[in-house]
Each structure stands twice: as structure tokens, then as C-alpha cells.
A and B are shown apart, each in its own frame.
Chain A
Amino acid sequence: MSITYLEAIREAQAHALRDDPRVFIYGQDVGAFGGAFKATKNLQKEFPGRVLDSPISEDAMIGLAVGTAIEGMRPIIEMQFADFSTVAFNQIVNQASTLFWRTNVPCPITVRLPFGGTSGSGPFHSQCLEAIYAHYPGLVVLTPATVEDAYSMLLSAVAIDDPVIFCEHKFLYYHLKAEKLPSEALPIGKARIAREGRDLTIVTYSAMVHEALAAADELATEGWQVEVVDLRSIKPLDTDTVVASVARTGRLLCVGEAWPWGGVTAEVIARVTAEGYGLLDAPPQRLNAKDTPVPYHPNLWAAHRPTARSVAAAARKLIRY
């Protein structure tokens, strides 16, 4: 038996619904239809009255979630695509994220964002918004890269007493498979060494972990040992694991599928430079998507975001610095 990243997300939601009567799911087409990606397939049947269709009103979806959280519920809100969460932006970054700080009343909502590029999806169904949410105090931002993490981190997200932006990568939905669901997991806020190496550290997250691992394979054939750090969680960010890795390798390449300006890669480099300046044997580098909207055509799309090839090229250059 094998299970996909998407199935893991469905299973985690089923698990949460089963374990905790305070959990419910609200989103567009999540009910009988099972969601645009089928992440809630059969859940309405299994949990009557707890998997509910919403109107196309992202702002009101999050507002409603906050109101239910005040009443002690733990809603999971599915955004049909991360891109549309911008319509709910105000409620996420001003309502949900400030509630606890202002009133001492926790706001345990989970906002699922199917995000990131897939071929042919174009400018409005491909965006990576983790950095913009991480910018706001009061939010937790998670970016699982594996089937196991998709499952266990979604369970953690529902259990966390604060608003969690759960960034699940659409490219990984069907591509990624595991043999079984995990029974234990790293705590939230801990990064994972996805591959050990001594010549260069690549820090990345979500789908780019797999591009980085492929690049590391390629470099291994040339005799270089690349370490890959999977951040798992963008906020909180595990600076300790990153700095410890750079202490081993002396070289840092940050890779993100998001746009470069003010992004996660910039944040990681800022932290490593401030806290581990003396550990660096070369200027830290980053590789991001190009600073344009995400293009539709596969030729353009493949060149827009980092790939194993471009990651390997950047890594090679940095090793030779």
C-alpha cells in the first residue's frame, strides 16, 4: 500500500475530525464534492454536519472561523487555491493574528493553502505566499515537504492554539508517495536534515526540497557532498539547525519557489549572516523564482522557478567561489 501527499492531508483531517469534536471543515466545494483537489473526499459522509460548503467569500470564511474559534471550536478552512487567500488577507492578518494578543483569547484556526506551481496553472493558481503571512506577528506558517510531514504537521496545526497557515504544495499532491503514515514526528519548529553533506548547505522547504535533493544527487556524481536542510516550518524558523549546518559546510545556498523580495531566503541569509558570519567561507547565496508573475506556458514556467538544474548550477558556482 502507498499513500500520496494529498491522501495524507485527507487522512490527517479525518483523524482530527474523529479525535476532536471541536474540529470542523469549512470551504468551497469541500462537502459532498470532496474539494477541488479531493482533499476532503468522503469526509462529509463520514462526519455529517462537520464538513461544510461555504459561499465564495474568503473574507467571510476566515471571519466565521475566528468567531467559531472564540467559541472554542477548531476550524480547518480550505482555501481552494492559496492565491485566493489574498481576498481573506485582512481577516487573516488583522483579525485572526491579533485576537490572542489583544484579548488573551486563543485563535486555533488552520487555514489550508494549496499553493505553488504546477505546469499550466499560470499567474493566479501558482502563488507561494508563505513569506507574506510569516511577516505578520501571531501566525504560524508551515510548509511540509514530505507525505509524513503533510500528515503529522497538519495534525499539529489543528492542535496548535494559534492561527496556522498550512502551505501544502500542489505539485507534491500526487507525485509524492510514502509506504505508510508516520506514528511520530519532529516537533513543529524543528528543521530536518534531508541529506547530509560537508561541502555546501542548501536551505529550502516544500517542493524545492526535492529539487535540492536531485541537485545534490547530481553534484555527488561530481564528488561534492551537499547537505540539504528542510525547514518544514517557516515560522517559527529553526535558525539553530541552519547555523549548525553552515558551521559544518561553510557555504549557504537558500532556495525558494517564492518571489525573491523580502522572502524566506532573504530571512535565512540575514539570520545566518548575523549569527554565523564567521562560519561562512563564501558569501551566502539564494535562488528564487523570477520577479514576475508565474507564467502559464511550461517552457516559461520551468525557467521561472528554481529546478534541480538551476539549483545544481548555483551550488556549483558557490562551491567554486
Chain B
Amino acid sequence: MLQTVSESRTVGETQRVAYRFMLRARLLDDKFASLYRAGKIHGGVFLGRGQEALSAAIGVHLNKTDVFAPLIRDAAGRLAFGEPIIDAVRTYLGSSLGPMRGRDGNVHRGRPQEGYLPMISHLGAMISVVNGVLFARRMKGITGIVGVACLGEGATSTGSFHEALNQAAVEKLPLVLVVANNQFAYSTPTTSQFACSDLANKAIGYGVESHSVDGTDFSACMETVGAAIARARAGHGPQLVVATLLRLCGHGEHDDASYIAPEQKNSKLGRDCLKVAEDFLLKKEFADAAQIAVWRSEAIREIDEAVAQAQREPAPDPYEEKWSALSSEHLNELREES
């Protein structure tokens, strides 16, 4: 298990930790992509390529007692929040031993009682659930915690986003809403998504503080996300973070993203945050190339081991399955089975 920020001591340790989560996330995503192409994954595969800096910056600034509702491009943040690689692999491969037991798959995974909320597909719907966890904890007298909800720029057009951000503002909850503006919602460009000049301006209307950041810039993400989380933790109410970047993959692995113009890919927006982070670490002498190579091979080994393990594990068995959606067993209508 990698260290978290609070345990870090030496200069550059936080950056090193964050970079390692980015690297692990990238390699894990690459593995899922190749498993998908090999026909080993049922259903879709959704990658966070190009968004690792933003996502890892969230994860490393959260404590175990915080709340995290990641979305589809947050492999890095999930790992940094403490998700073991095996949880991700088991969910993608449908192992009955995974946290979702084959009932849900791919990015729809979490452990709610550990503050790690499993997204439902409906965009915007997780924000108010984070509000609820924060609301309950406040009722119990727990302070000093924050909850982060992630979303894409497309999800800012949902009614749920509006309702939940307004609700958090009214209740002054320590919510940090991190919007990854990766320029596309599936194939839809931002011009068809919103008409304001800067998404961060939306915060004004809700009476919420906002932060903008270049999502390709690793150290800027670390600083801005860290500051927003610290503001919320210190009791300054909800924070909106808007990161500008480019999705460096298809919407899912089924999508070749041919609608993204080459000029955009070749612009500064299209640079790879993992490379930016690596250059940053080398330049600051927080790590050297040999060290990074070791981290990489360690991560590859861990991922390969997790995949090998999950592939040996039992798939869910329909005859063992309970086929009941209720926790109250006495209220099940068992007669359906006859």
C-alpha cells in the first residue's frame, strides 16, 4: 500500500505519491483496454487517460474518513483513496469475490460504508448522496471531513447537478465538486453543452467558491485541488473546481473518438498529464528515471498478479444468487419462484 499525504515527510513526497497513483492508474487502464480488445471483459471499458493528474490530486488530499464519489475516469483517484487494485480488476472481470459480486460492473464499484460511493450511471445523481453522507455526519457531530464528487462538464447540464450544488450551498456542506472539462460529453462538444464563458462562473449563482485549473498541469492540479479541499475542510462551504483538459481516449473503448479534431489533440490542451508529471518530478529531482522505471515495473507486476488472481476466481452462480432486492427478507415475495 502506498503512503497517503498525511504520512509524507520529505520534500516532494506528496508529489511522488500522487505520481505513482497516476502511473498505476494509467497502467491499470491500459490493461483493461487490452483485456477488452481480447474479448475478456463483458460490457464497456471506460478510461481516464489524460485525467490522472486531476484525479490523483483528489485522492491524495482525502483521508480515510472522508467521502469520495468518483466517476468513470477516476481510476487514479480511486487508487489514491485506498481502493485495492484487486477490487477494480474483480469488478471488471465479474468475479463473485469483488465488492459488486457480479451484480454491477466496470466503473460502478465502491464500498459505501467506507465513504467510497459506487456511482449509478445517471449523471449528477451521486452529488446529493455525498451531501447526505456529509449531512448525517454533521448530525452525528463529526467535523473536519470533506466529500468530493467528480463529474464531467456534460453532467453540469443535469438538473441533479443544480439541485445538489444548491442544496450543499444552502446547508454549507463541506462538498468539493470537481468538474473535469475534457471538452466532450461522449461526442458532444462544450458548445452544445453550456453557453457560459467559464464553467467556474456557475459557482457564483449558487453562492459557492470556485477554482479553475489547467488539468494537464500536474503541480497546478495538486495545488488547486489541495486548496479547495482544505477550504471545504476548514468550514468555508462547498467548493467548485473546474479543470480544463482533453479526453485522451474514446468515450469508452468501443469509441474511436474520430470526432476530436487533430488540431485539438495537438494543442496544449492535448498534452499528457502523466508526461507532464514525470517531467516535473525529474526537473525538481523528486525522482530520477531509474526510480520511475522501478515504480512502473512494480505496478505492472501488481496489476498482472491481480488479473491472474481474478481470472481464477469463481464467476457468480445464478443458482446460488438470491434474486432478491430487499434487505428485509420477510418482505420478499418468494412465490414468484414457484
Do A66 and B132 touch (CB < 8 A)?
yes
B contact residues, range: 35 or more
A: number of interface residues (CB 8 Å): 48
Q: Which residues of the other chain, B, contact A106 by a CB distance below 8 angstroms?
A: 327
Docked Cα-Cα span, A7 to B317, in Å, equals 49
Query: A162 within 8 Å of B by Cβ?
Result: yes
Q: Report B's interface with A, CB cutoff 8 A.
A: 99-100, 103-104, 108, 110-113, 117-118, 120-122, 125-137, 139-140, 159-160, 163-164, 166-167, 170, 324-328, 330-333, 335
Q: Which residues of the other chain, A, contact B126 by a CB distance below 8 angstroms?
A: 63
Q: Which residues of the other chain, A, contact B331 by a CB distance below 8 angstroms?
A: 140, 160, 162, 188-189, 236
A103 with B99, Cβ < 8 A, contacts A57-B166, A59-B163, A64-B132 known: yes
- Measured CB to CB, the nearest residue on chain A to B132 is A67
Do B133 and A236 touch (CB < 8 A)?
no
Cβ proximity bits A21-60 to B, threshold 8 Å, 1 near / 0 not: 0001000000000000000000000000100001101111
- Selected interface stretch from A94-102, A204-212, A244-252, A279-287: A94-102
- Selected interface stretch from A69-77, A112-120, A143-151, A218-226: A69-77
With A60-B167, A101-B324 known, 6 other A-B pairs at CB within 8 A are A59-B128, A59-B163, A63-B129, A71-B137, A71-B140, A106-B327
Do B332 and A236 touch (CB < 8 A)?
yes
Min CB gap B122→A, angstroms: 5
Do B99 and A63 touch (CB < 8 A)?
no
A70 with B113, Cβ < 8 A, contacts A90-B125, A236-B333, A237-B333 known: yes
Cβ proximity bits A102-136 to B, threshold 8 Å, 1 near / 0 not: 11011100000000000000000000000000000
Min CB gap A177→B, angstroms: 30
Min CB gap B105→A, angstroms: 11
Q: Which residues of the other chain, B, contact A87 by a CB distance below 8 angstroms?
A: 159
Query: A91 within 8 Å of B by Cβ?
Result: yes
Min CB gap B241→A, angstroms: 20
With beta carbons under 8 angstroms apart, the residue of B118, B135, B160, B330 that contacts A59 is: B160
Do B132 and A98 touch (CB < 8 A)?
no
With beta carbons under 8 angstroms apart, the residue of A62, A68, A107 that contacts B135 is: A68
Min CB gap A128→B, angstroms: 21
Q: Which residues of the other chain, A, contact B335 by a CB distance below 8 angstroms?
A: 239
Query: A202 within 8 Å of B by Cβ?
Result: no
Q: Which residues of the other chain, B, contact A160 by a CB distance below 8 angstroms?
A: 328, 331
Min CB gap A152→B, angstroms: 16
Min CB gap B198→A, angstroms: 24
| Max chain B C-beta neighbours (<10 A), residue from A64, A98, A100 | A64
Docked Cα-Cα span, A79 to B269, in Å, equals 45
Do A103 and B128 touch (CB < 8 A)?
no
Query: A182 within 8 Å of B by Cβ?
Result: no
Q: Which residues of the other chain, A, contact B325 by a CB distance below 8 angstroms?
A: 97-98, 100-101, 137-138
Q: Which residues of the other chain, A, contact B139 by a CB distance below 8 angstroms?
A: 24, 49, 68, 73
Docked Cα-Cα span, A71 to B145, in Å, equals 14
Do A94 and B326 touch (CB < 8 A)?
no
Q: Which residues of the other chain, B, contact A107 by a CB distance below 8 angstroms?
A: 327
Q: Which 7 pairs, one residue from A and one from B, show the smallest C-beta to C-beta distance?
A: A67-B132, A63-B128, A71-B136, A138-B325, A57-B163, A60-B163, A137-B325
Do B112 and A70 touch (CB < 8 A)?
yes
Q: Which residues of the other chain, A, contact B163 by a CB distance below 8 angstroms?
A: 55, 57-60, 63
Do B129 and A55 touch (CB < 8 A)?
no
Docked Cα-Cα span, A106 to B140, in Å, equals 19
Do B133 and A94 touch (CB < 8 A)?
no
A68 with B110, Cβ < 8 A, contacts A55-B166, A59-B160, A90-B125 known: no
Docked Cα-Cα span, A297 to B167, in Å, equals 37
Do A65 and B112 touch (CB < 8 A)?
no
Docked Cα-Cα span, A235 to B333, in Å, equals 8
A138 with B326, Cβ < 8 A, contacts A60-B167, A101-B103 known: yes
Query: A161 within 8 Å of B by Cβ?
Result: yes
With beta carbons under 8 angstroms apart, the residue of A70, A97, A100, A189 that contacts B132 is: A70
